[in-house]
Amino acid sequence: MHPGGSEPDEAEEHTTGDRRDATAIVGDPPAGAVPDTETSTTVAPPPDAKKVRRKDRKAKGPLSFLRELPVLLLVAFLLALLIKTFLIQAFYIPSASMENTLLIGDRVLVNKLVYRFHPPRRGDIIVFEDPHPPAEPHRNPASAFLHWLTEGLGVSNSPQKDFIKRVIALPGETIEIQQGQVFINGKPIGEPYLNPIKDLSSYPPTKIPADRLFVMGDNRANSNDSRRELGLIPFDKVVGRAFVIIWPPSRIQWLHGT
């Protein structure tokens, strides 16, 4: 021991050496290592917005539209077919029986839904199927669907004829015609829509049964209607009510009752 109780210098030297070694181990990174600051702050470059927009335009270009076109046409066709079947249908006027209200060549729109909410009314112009149709050939389900589809497209025609007339007498009423004047339940009715060419025929008093309609054309002198072969029209033969003339453009107008 050294005088004064001091520790040997060798011990001091050993302590100092150990401290240097620890500092070297902790402070010096291994060779070839990448500092943490570089890895933690590295960020991927942002996408080029202009390139993204150009890709979007290419995806929505003419080729994309052409790919979607068959689907769009199919959807449009199915919607048109559903509308024609259940809501509204156009009809062509082939005869002079409704002159001068409807002329040959006019096209009218028929509301096929209206009589689900109320029955036909006097003065309504209605389209109805032939109450005495010819027998149709038997079709299996596939053939019947194909016929319905082609008829909706206008490729084929139904053997059944459609007629357009005006409702004159309703169920439970008694109609009589005396030299062209119509009486309902014994009272004359006004008919401002009649063709100027007078019809002076008569019809005996007839009571209209339930679910039947008595119809006549506005051109009474030239109309096959309930007075003749057609007879009374069952409700279930009524297609709908004509409400507007859509063709030709010079004839576009709403159709009203009495």
Catalytic residues: 97, 165
* Sign of the torsion angle spanned by Cα atoms 246, 247, 253, 258: negative
Q: Please give the structure tokens belonging to residue 67.
A: 């790919």
Query: Half-sphere exposure of residue 254, counting CA atoms within 13 Å on the CB side?
Result: 3
* Strand arrangement of the beta sheet that strand 203-207 belongs to: 187-188, 181-184, 174-178, 203-207
Which one, of 254, 239, 192, 197, lies nearest residue 221 by Cα?
197
Residues 209, 202: Cα–Cα separation, whole Å: 20
Residues 194 and 97: beta-carbon distance below 8 Å: no
Residues 14, 185: Cα–Cα separation, whole Å: 136
Residues 248, 108: Cα–Cα separation, whole Å: 10
Q: How far is CA 90 from the centre of its chain?
A: 15
Which one, of 122, 129, 94, 123, lies nearest residue 108 by Cα?
94
| Longest alpha-carbon distance in the chain | 160
